[in-house]
Structure 1
Amino acid sequence: MHSKLTDGVALPSAHTPLHQLPKGAKATIVDIVSHAVFGDMDEQVTLRLKELGFLPGAMLQVIGFGLFGSDPVAVRINGTKFGLRRAEAEKVLATIHPM
């Protein structure tokens, strides 16, 4: 599997960061990756996402985005709606389901 470099992070080509999924998309979480913007707090942010249910294998749906495509990224996972900051959404890699 080939990788591409996005914002300094190597990503598998079949996986898309959550913030890049289109509105209405359904996807399965593949991984949660590190993000330099969080610095020393990255592990805590990852843990918090996992505590909220953002776990590999979980299915989610993108509900929408903030004004002009900015924060928050609204998603539904396990029947609960969440609003994530774009930087948090960038940590979540998913495989989109065909529509």
Structure 2
Amino acid sequence: MKLLEKTIKILDYLSDEQRSVGIAELSIKLDFPKSTVHRILKDLLRYSIVEQEKDTSRYKIGLRLLKYSNSLLRSFDIRQTVKPILKKVCNETQETTFLTIWTND
């Protein structure tokens, strides 16, 4: 398994757990050597992709991923995404479909 694939599996696990996780747990659950998990987490920590709790030394998703998700949300056009779904619903039900977007303006 390539390093990038292992890194993504670690991030997926951290994201799914929604709690801080230790190296031993990651190693057992993902069947990776502890040294590999430690090396990957060390690199992710350096770039704030994960954070390490000082009191427990456990890891969790970091703030840099929030930056990436915010970028995605800013460029995401819900109208284009929903349009084919609304058309399908319209065709199947023979009813008019609408998408309403609330704003704070």
Q: Which has the larger share of strand? A: 1
Return the index of the structure with the highest Cα Rg. Answer: 2
Q: Which has the larger share of helix? A: 2
| TM-score (ref. length: structure 2) | 0.27
Task: Considering Cα pairs closer than 8 Å and 6+ residues apart, tell me whether 1 or 2 has the greater RCO.
Answer: 1
